[in-house]
């Protein structure tokens, strides 16, 4: 049985004007807003809780529960911050979403802000990608024009201002507390927790930070109900998700499907392997999660099944590599990325990535020894779980995962280089 695709956010991307207010409203856009106002703030939180929506930024934290952490009637301003700083190697779902359907995000922002009693929302978009920034800015401007943002939105008495903020080119700013520091005008480095953002986030006020896809999913849930959403996916991973398939497939792109679809199915939807070479390895959701092989193609893409397989669903943006790829070079590129993006705050990530790249570069040049593999495993272990934020853990992931399946290839590269020398 093949899992069918369920276009929801992507349904009208073929329309020439899908990014405009007219295009969005032609298909019922902003109708969820009225329902949300009728349901009331607590009602919206309940619906989102019931839907089982989990954060689409990688960690998969239940969204409704996150909203519920925000203290009510505390006299402080609340903020909604949308994390659209999509920078993970291999992750490319929020950017196309914001290009093709920015109003779903804007409507989601309004409903979510209403639910958590925020009158000020920020959309933090990766700075290297000007096109989605332009599209979201235009969408926000159009929403203001149409009375969907600003004072007393649609007579509901609810006020909301939205700021679209462009990042300045740091991967770390996708980490939610670093993002907050960056938004406040500081250097982007992660903050000590507690306090958690729900209690003291942006400007030390209660703040909800959600991924762009998560927020964009909210209008459909309000429109169609929690049960509709839950009818897709599994019990622990309900709903539908954007799967951005990239790499050695014939038709890389966004495939919107229920959670639980398998990689084999996604590759089929993507037209099969690019040069009809066999698949060598794949990564479920960005370079931060451990790789899998052809043996794992039939495991359902859910939070729980991926965890059981020793990896993570992550952002749900699978990268596919065929046998023309050197796993050694792939690992080197990823770790170089983490070294380049390490913010420098904590020792393990700052120094550990520096060291790993040093060894891997040596390996690439044929100057490594077999014992360096143990050393790299050791260094990864010295970073993992000891760094300040998840970035260090991410940097410690690729090598041990690659070694698990491709130890011989590493040994071969080292030995071959030795023979050449």
Partner 1 sequence: MTILANSNQPKSNDNDLITAVIDGIAVRVPKGTLAIRAAEMLGIEIPRFCDHPALSPVAACRMCLVEIEGMPKPQPSCAITLTEGMQVKTQNSSQVASSAQEGVMEFLLLNHPLDCPTCDKGGECPLQNQAMSNGRADSRFEGTKRNFQKAININAQVLLDRERCVSCARCTRFADEIAGDPSLELLERGAKQQVGVADDQPFESYYSGNTVQICPVGALTSAAYRFRARPFDLVSSESVCEHCASGCSLRTDSRRGKVLRRLAGDDSEVNEEWNCDKGRFAFRHLMQDRITTPLVREHGELRPASWPEAIRYAAEGLRNQRAAVLAGGRLTLEDAYAYSRFARVALGTNNVDFRNRTASSEEQDFLTNHVAGTGLGVTYQDLEDAQVVVVIGFEPEEESPIIMLRLRKAVRNKTLKVIAIDSANSLGFKKLNADLRLTKPGNESAAISELIKDLQDQNSIILVGERLASSHGAFSATVAVAEKVGARIGWVPRRAGERAAVDAGLLPNLLPAGRKVFEPRDREVVASAWGVSVEHIPTKPGLTQLEIISSAVQGEIDAIVTAGVDINDVANHAAFAAALNKTFVVSLENRASSVIEFADVVLPVGAITERAGTFVDWEGRLRTFDAVMQESLALTDARVLHLIAIELGHTFKDDAKVTSLRSSYSSLGAVSKPGTMNLVAASTTKTGLVLAGWHHLLDNGSLQAGEPHLAATARAVVAKVSSETAQANGLISGNRVIVRSKLGAITLPLEISEVAPETIWLPLNSEGSSVAMQLQIDIGAEVSVSDGGAI
Nearer to partner 1, 248 or 339 (CB): 339
Binding mask 250-269 for partner 1 (x = CB under 8 A): --------------------
| Among the residue ranges 69-77, 94-102, 299-307, 345-353, the one whose residues contact partner 1 (CB under 8 A) | 345-353
Does 342 interact with partner 1 (rule: CB under 8 A)? yes
Does 388 interact with partner 1 (rule: CB under 8 A)? yes
Nearer to partner 1, 132 or 348 (CB): 348
Helix, strand, coil shares of the chain, percent, nearest 5, are 50, 15, 40
Q: Let me know: does 288 contact 88? Beta carbons within 8 Å.
A: yes
> Which of 34, 385, 412, 418 touches partner 1 (CB under 8 A)?
385
Nearer to partner 1, 178 or 263 (CB): 178
CA torsion angle 58 33 103 89 (round to 10): 0
The rounded distance, in Å, linking the Cα atoms of 336 and 7 is: 36
Helix count and strand count (H, E) for the chain: 17, 8
Q: How far is the CB of 340 from partner 1 (least distance, A)?
A: 7
Cα–Cα distances in Å, from 365 out to 82, 128, 340, 417?
A: 42, 31, 20, 8
Q: Let me know: does 384 contact 349? Beta carbons within 8 Å.
A: no
Cα–Cα distances in Å, from 315 out to 50, 56, 230, 241, 353?
A: 22, 6, 19, 10, 23
Binding mask 21-40 for partner 1 (x = CB under 8 A): --------------------
> Which of 84, 172, 261, 401 touches partner 1 (CB under 8 A)?
172
Nearer to partner 1, 233 or 348 (CB): 348
Question: Hey, what are 355's tokens?
Answer: 């060291």
> Which of 143, 319, 320, 346 touches partner 1 (CB under 8 A)?
346
Torsion region of 58: left, alpha or beta (phi above 0 gives left; psi -120 to 50 gives alpha): left
The rounded distance, in Å, linking the Cα atoms of 371 and 88 is: 30
Q: Please, what is the angle between helix 102-116 and helix 130-145, to 10°?
A: 60
| Among the residue ranges 61-69, 134-142, 160-168, 343-351, the one whose residues contact partner 1 (CB under 8 A) | 343-351
Which distant-in-sequence residues (6+ apart) come within 8 Å of 29 by Cβ? 21, 23, 103, 104, 107, 219
Nearer to partner 1, 284 or 352 (CB): 352
Does 179 interact with partner 1 (rule: CB under 8 A)? no
> Which of 341, 397, 398, 413 touches partner 1 (CB under 8 A)?
341
> Which of 80, 170, 215, 240 touches partner 1 (CB under 8 A)?
170
| Among the residue ranges 87-95, 239-247, 264-272, 358-366, the one whose residues contact partner 1 (CB under 8 A) | 358-366
- Count of residues engaged in binding partner 1, rule: CB under 8 A: 30
Binding mask 44-83 for partner 1 (x = CB under 8 A): ----------------------------------------
Does 419 interact with partner 1 (rule: CB under 8 A)? no
Torsion region of 78: left, alpha or beta (phi above 0 gives left; psi -120 to 50 gives alpha): beta
Q: What is the DSSP string of 122-150?
A: EEEE-TT-HHHHHHHHHHHHHHHHTTSSB
Question: Hey, what are 108's tokens?
Answer: 């989601």
Does 209 interact with partner 1 (rule: CB under 8 A)? no
Centre a 10 Å sphere on the Cβ of residue 50 and count the other Cβ atoms it contains.
16
Does 362 interact with partner 1 (rule: CB under 8 A)? yes
| Among the residue ranges 106-114, 308-316, 346-354, 398-406, the one whose residues contact partner 1 (CB under 8 A) | 346-354
| Among the residue ranges 2-10, 11-19, 21-29, 339-347, the one whose residues contact partner 1 (CB under 8 A) | 339-347
Does 144 interact with partner 1 (rule: CB under 8 A)? no
* Start-to-end CA span in the chain (Å): 53
Does 126 interact with partner 1 (rule: CB under 8 A)? no
Nearer to partner 1, 236 or 350 (CB): 350
Nearer to partner 1, 41 or 359 (CB): 359
Q: Let me know: does 378 contact 307? Beta carbons within 8 Å.
A: no
Q: Let me know: does 81 contact 208? Beta carbons within 8 Å.
A: yes
| Among the residue ranges 113-121, 286-294, 322-330, 335-343, the one whose residues contact partner 1 (CB under 8 A) | 335-343
Nearer to partner 1, 216 or 383 (CB): 383
Q: Let me know: does 360 contact 331? Beta carbons within 8 Å.
A: yes
Q: Which residues here bind partner 1, judged by CB under 8 A? A: 170, 172, 187, 192, 339-348, 350-355, 358-359, 362, 375, 381-382, 385-388
């Amino acid at each position: 049985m093949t899992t069918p695709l369920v276009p929801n956010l992507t349904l009208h991307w073929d329309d020439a004007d899908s990014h405009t207010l007219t295009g969005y409203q032609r298909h019922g856009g902003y109708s969820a807003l009225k329902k949300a106002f009728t349901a009331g703030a607590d009602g919206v939180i309940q619906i989102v809780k019931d839907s089982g929506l989990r954060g689409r930024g990688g960690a998969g934290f239940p969204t409704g529960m996150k909203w519920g952490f925000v203290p009510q009637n505390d006299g402080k301003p609340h903020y909604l911050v949308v994390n659209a700083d999509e920078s993970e190697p291999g992750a490319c779902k929020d950017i196309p979403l914001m290009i093709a359907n920015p109003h779903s995000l804007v409507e989601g922002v309004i409903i979510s802000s209403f639910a958590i009693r925020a009158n000020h929302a920020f959309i933090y978009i990766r700075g290297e990608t000007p096109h989605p920034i332009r599209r979201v800015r235009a969408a926000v401007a159009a929403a203001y024009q149409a009375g969907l943002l600003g004072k007393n939105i649609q007579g509901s008495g609810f006020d909301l201002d939205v700021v679209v903020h462009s990042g300045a080119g740091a991967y770390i700013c996708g980490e939610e507390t670093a993002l907050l520091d960056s938004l406040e005008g500081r250097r982007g480095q992660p903050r000590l927790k507690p306090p958690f953002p729900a209690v003291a986030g942006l400007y030390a006020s209660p703040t909800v930070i959600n991924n762009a896809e998560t927020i964009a999913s909210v209008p459909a849930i309000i429109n169609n109900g929690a049960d509709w959403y839950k009818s897709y996916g599994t019990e622990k991973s309900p709903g539908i998700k954007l799967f951005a398939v990239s790499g050695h497939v014939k038709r890389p792109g966004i495939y919107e499907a229920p959670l639980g679809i398998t990689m084999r199915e996604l590759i089929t939807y993507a037209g099969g392997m690019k040069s009809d070479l066999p698949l060598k390895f794949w990564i479920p959701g960005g370079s931060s999660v451990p790789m899998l092989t052809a043996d794992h193609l039939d495991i359902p893409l859910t939070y729980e099944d991926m965890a059981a397989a020793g990896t993570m669903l992550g952002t749900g943006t699978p990268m596919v590599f065929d046998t023309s790829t050197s796993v050694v070079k792939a690992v080197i590129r990823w770790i170089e990325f983490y070294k380049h993006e390490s913010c420098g705050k904590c020792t393990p990530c700052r120094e550990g990535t520096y060291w790993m790249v040093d060894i891997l570069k040596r390996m690439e040049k044929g100057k490594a020894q077999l014992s360096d593999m143990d050393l790299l495993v050791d260094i990864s272990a010295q970073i993992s779980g000891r760094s300040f934020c998840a970035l260090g853990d991410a940097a410690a992931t690729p090598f041990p995962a690659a070694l698990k399946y491709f130890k011989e290839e590493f040994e071969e590269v080292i030995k071959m280089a030795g023979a050449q020398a």
